[in-house]
Amino acid sequence: MESQEIQNQAMGYDRAATMFSPDGHILQVEYAEKTVRLGSASIGFSCSDGVVILADKRLGDSLMVAESANKIFEVDSHIIGSAAGILSDARVLVERAQLISQQHRVTYDSPVDVITIIKDISDIKQQFTQHPGVRPFGISMMIAGANGKSQLFVSDVTGNFFEYYASAIGENDDRIKEALRVGFRRDMTTEEALKLGLQIFKDIKGSNFNVENFDAAIIINDKDKKVKRLNGESLKKYIK
């Protein structure tokens, strides 16, 4: 398989996102997917009482202000998101999602559906795999919302998206998903899910685990929807 990829590179099939290789691959998209797996991980949960996203900020410089490395975005009071890969790519789509959300409130006097946000983001990502002169967005995006029911969606580089009970994006996503399949229950509360997510990160990172490097955001599915953010000291009580 690797030799086939090298041959495709030599023949120039990786020069544009609009070009299929003879074996049916779009190599620029596959390269973007590799970029996503180099990004720091996030775990999302759709719980019985709301939604949770837990993100590894991967702070690599002691001179950096930790709060500036926020990886969890607030799209609206009932929707949060995270991304893995090139975060500057994510920022463009998050700002688009925030605009759509506010326009919906002004036009219809009601909060936007979570699926409307993930579909719009995914449509844009798909367009950037089909037009010449552009490159694919180098990110996977996770969008979670609580508005009558809890929902979690993940959109990949190609623009495909699916709804999940729990999922992960970024570094070690396969290992995290295996742990989620074992430990996650659909009747979990947001607090139980947060404990599970931190335990999974602790198991995977081992001696490199540092709770100060993590952010979490929770939305409880009630009338007074509001994003609750947790980091550093406030996360320590959830670690066994």
> For 26-42, how does the pLDDT look when each residue is reduced to its tens digit (9 = 90+)?
888 888 999 999 999 99
pLDDT beyond 90 at 229: yes
Q: Which residue has the higher pLDDT, 68 or 122?
A: 122
Q: What is the pLDDT of residue 3?
A: 61
The whole-angstrom separation of Cα 49 and Cα 118 is 21
Q: What is the pLDDT of residue 131?
A: 84
The whole-angstrom separation of Cα 54 and Cα 193 is 9
pLDDT, one tens digit per residue, over 50-81 is 999 999 998 777 777 777 778 999 999 999 99
Domain boundaries, the chain: 44-236
| CATH architecture of the region 44-236 | 4-Layer Sandwich (3.60)
Q: What is the pLDDT of residue 10?
A: 45
The pTM of the full predicted model, rounded to 2 decimals, is 0.91
Q: What is the pLDDT of residue 9?
A: 57
- Catalogue the long-range contacts made by 161-165 (C-beta closer than 8 Å, 24 or more residues apart): 161/118, 161/119, 161/121, 161/122, 163/46, 164/44, 164/46, 165/45, 165/46
Q: What is the pLDDT of residue 11?
A: 59
Mean pLDDT score of the chain, rounded to an integer?
Answer: 91
What proportion of the chain, given as a percentage, has pLDDT over 70? 94
Instruction: Give the confidence band of 1 by pLDDT, cuts at 50, 70, 90.
Output: low
pLDDT, one tens digit per residue, over 133-192 is 888 999 999 999 998 899 999 999 999 999 999 999 999 999 999 999 999 999 999 999
